[in-house]
């Protein structure tokens, strides 16, 4: 009898996903949340398995065209989503949260709404931080923690508070610092009490710094970029900074900066650091092509040599061509067809080009500074306005390149000329006399000193979606 019951139970459990598979596949045309105040829609949507179709697949009547990415409805995952949301709310301190659902099926479409009753949260009544009286100002530290007394008892923020304490200790010379977490929750009273007990361990200085994996790159070059110095108090941030700086050279495929020992060496007051690198290809080639209404066809290419002549410096050679098909010597009469927009433009009768050779030196005088030197030759034109031809050189030094606001001081010198119609000279350059126009049309030297500072506050360096970039530039140029 027991075996029969077990067999029936297994059959029922197996039938649920099977029944879900036999249902017609439906496209999620709408996914929304109602009643949530403590947690925003974006966080809730990332916590569940069901996802909404793209805007083109949801908007009527555009979706009739079949455009956009369509997400299919999975009954089993949908049921699990209710549990996922309950767990998220309970981890956020809302132990009495209730999740209800409203599903509307229309043919092969489905519209989903999660109705949430959050209830009152469990709030943190007391937070004790122990083991730091002789190391840190506990009162000041507690003010900086992500979880504060009176807040809903969010266990993710509680973990973040523990990590904050550990990071503070590791940046004060305690490489093996750890912490014990303890909390007690009274759901009936909506009250929580938490304790963080720090285990600092010994305070240690940096001892030997071992570099591994540098085969073709000189270890002295790697060592010059290190922020970890023998004899300094250990700081975890210096390990991260070293890793970032080495990655930024473009010479390594992977970089890992870690402690050599997982536990404190007995009877030793120093800690060993290992810098593991894996070298990347020494050269990189970039190619690109495109079409623009003001450029006609255009191409660009680049070649970069890393660790050029040693010292982590890089040599970058780039080239760009535009007005291909309409400008001499590549004129193919494209002005009469694909690039007819340029037919009446006198500035597009010749190929535009730019060739630049740049030598960059990181760790210039210090790991915090960088320098660059470039020479270039170019011809560029502004649509129905003017043409500029020049050759020149630029030199620049960036101070505190790793800080929040790096400052760059540069000097540029070029020899060139600007040609345009008389009306453009007068309107754009405010030069209406023939003598002034002739002066600008002749080859003249031009020099300028530039000082600029940039403050970037973005959520991602490679693909920013939020934040701001503020730049201030001061230019002092020679008189023409």
The continuous run of DSSP H or E covering 110 comes out as: strand 109-117
Confidence (pLDDT) at 294: 85
Please report how the helices 2-22 and 75-91 are oriented relative to each other, as an axis angle in degrees rounded to 10. Answer: 100
pLDDT for position 22: 55
What's the pLDDT score for residue 462? 60
In the predicted model, what is the mean pLDDT of residues 5-11? 42
- Read off the pLDDT of residues 416-458 as tens digits, 9 standing for 90 and up: 988 888 777 787 777 788 887 787 788 889 999 999 998 888 7
Residue 11 has pLDDT above 60, yes or no: no
Tell me if residue 373 falls in helix, strand or coil: strand
The full set of domain ranges for the chain reads 21-117, 123-199, 207-279, 281-357, 363-417+443-480
The owner of tokens 């027991």 is: 2
Least confident piece of the model among 10-19, 226-235, 266-275, 321-330 = 10-19
Average pLDDT, the chain: 88
Q: In this structure, which long-range contacts are made by residues 40-45, counting pairs with CB atoms below 8 Å and at least 24 apart in sequence?
A: 43/88, 44/85, 44/88, 44/114
The residue whose two tokens read 């030793």 is: 268
Q: 328, 351 in Cβ contact below 8 A?
A: yes
Cα–chain-centroid distance for residue 431?
Answer: 45
Residues 335-360 pLDDT 10s: 888 888 888 888 888 899 999 999 99
Q: Kindly indicate the confidence band of residue 57, based on its pLDDT and cuts at 50, 70 and 90.
A: confident
For 457-466, b/e burial (b = at least 16 CB within 10 A) is eeeeeeeeee
Contact 256, 299 (CB under 8 A): no
Q: Are 436 and 426 in contact (CB under 8 A)?
A: no
Q: CA-to-CA distance for 323 and 423, rounded, in angstroms?
A: 24
CA distance 148 to 161: 9
Task: Convert the pLDDT of each residue in 175-234 to its tens digit.
Answer: 999 999 999 999 999 999 999 999 999 999 999 999 999 888 888 889 988 989 899 999
Alpha-carbon radius of gyration of the chain: 32
pLDDT at 51: 92
Tally of residues, the chain: 480
Q: What is the pLDDT of residue 440?
A: 76
* Greatest mean pLDDT range, 42-56, 143-157, 254-268, 404-418: 143-157
Q: Is the dihedral of CA 173, 174, 176, 179 positive or negative?
A: negative
Tokens of 38: 């403590």
How far from chain centre, in Å, is Cα 438? Answer: 49
Per-residue model confidence (pLDDT) at position 284: 94
- Any idea which fold 123-199 has? Ubiquitin-like (UB roll) (3.10.20)
Q: Per-residue confidence at 97, pLDDT binned at 50, 70, 90?
A: very high
* Mean pLDDT, residues 28-54 taken together: 93
Question: Which tokens hold the place of 288?
Answer: 């690109």
Tell me the average pLDDT across 147-165.
96
Average pLDDT score over residue span 273-290: 94
Mean pLDDT, residues 286-313 taken together: 92
Between CA 9 and CA 131 the distance in angstroms is 53
CA dihedral 147, 148, 149, 150 (to 10 degrees): -90
Q: Do 21-117 and 207-279 agree at the fold level?
A: yes
Does pLDDT of 13 surpass 70?
A: no
Residue 401's closest CA among 432, 361, 436, 433? 361
* Residue 173 exposed, middle or buried by CB count within 10 Å (0-12, 13-18, 19+): buried
Torsion of CA 445, 449, 455, 456, to 10 degrees: 20
pLDDT reported for residue 5: 42
- pLDDT (0 to 100) of residue 480: 58
CATH code given to domain 207-279: 3.10.20.310
Give the class (CATH, top level) of 21-117: alpha beta
pLDDT of residue 23: 62
């Amino acid at each position: 009898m027991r075996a029969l019951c077990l067999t029936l139970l297994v059959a029922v459990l197996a039938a649920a996903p099977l029944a879900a598979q036999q249902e017609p596949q439906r496209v999620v045309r709408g996914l929304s949340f109602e009643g949530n105040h403590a947690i925003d829609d974006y966080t809730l949507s990332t916590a569940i398995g069901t996802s909404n179709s793209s805007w083109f697949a949801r908007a009527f009547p555009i979706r009739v065209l079949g455009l956009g990415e369509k997400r299919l409805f999975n009954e089993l995952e949908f049921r699990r989503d209710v549990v996922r949301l309950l767990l998220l709310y309970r981890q956020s301190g809302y132990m009495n949260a209730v999740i209800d659902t409203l599903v509307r099926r229309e043919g092969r479409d489905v519209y989903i709404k999660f109705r949430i009753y959050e209830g009152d949260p469990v709030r943190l009544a007391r937070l004790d931080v122990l083991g730091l009286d002789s190391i840190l100002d506990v009162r000041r530290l507690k003010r900086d923690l992500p979880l504060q007394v009176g807040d809903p008892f969010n266990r993710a923020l509680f973990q973040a508070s523990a990590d904050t304490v550990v990071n503070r200790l590791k940046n004060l010379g305690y490489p093996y610092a750890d912490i014990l977490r303890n909390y007690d929750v009274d759901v009936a009273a909506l009250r929580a009490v938490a304790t963080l007990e720090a285990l600092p361990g010994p305070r240690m200085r940096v001892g030997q710094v071992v570099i591994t994996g540098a085969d073709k790159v000189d270890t002295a070059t790697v060592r010059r970029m290190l922020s970890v110095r023998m004899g300094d108090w250990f700081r975890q941030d210096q390990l991260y900074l070293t890793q970032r700086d080495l990655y930024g050279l473009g010479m390594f495929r992977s970089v890992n900066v870690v402690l050599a020992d997982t536990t404190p060496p007995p009877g030793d007051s120093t800690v060993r650091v290992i810098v593991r690198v894996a070298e990347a290809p020494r050269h990189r080639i970039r190619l690109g092509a495109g079409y623009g209404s003001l450029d006609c066809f255009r191409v660009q290419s680049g070649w970069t040599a890393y660790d050029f002549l040693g010292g982590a410096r890089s040599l970058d050679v780039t080239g760009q061509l535009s007005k291909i098909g309409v400008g001499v010597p590549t004129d193919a009469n494209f002005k009469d067809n694909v690039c007819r927009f340029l037919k009446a433009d006198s500035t597009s009768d010749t190929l535009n080009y730019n060739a630049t050779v740049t030598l960059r030196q990181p760790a210039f005088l210090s790991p915090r500074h960088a320098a660059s030197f470039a020479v270039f030759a170019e011809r560029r034109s502004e649509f129905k306005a003017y043409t500029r031809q020049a050759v020149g050189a630029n030199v620049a030094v960036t101070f505190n390149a790793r800080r929040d606001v790096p400052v760059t001081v540069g000097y540029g010198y070029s020899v060139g000329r600007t040609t345009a119609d008389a009306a453009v000279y007068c309107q754009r350059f405010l030069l209406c006399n023939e003598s002034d126009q002739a002066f600008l049309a002749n080859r003249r030297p031009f020099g300028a000193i530039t000082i600029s500072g940039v403050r970037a506050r973005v959520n991602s360096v490679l693909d920013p979606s939020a934040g701001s970039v503020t730049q201030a530039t001061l230019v002092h140029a020679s008189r023409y």
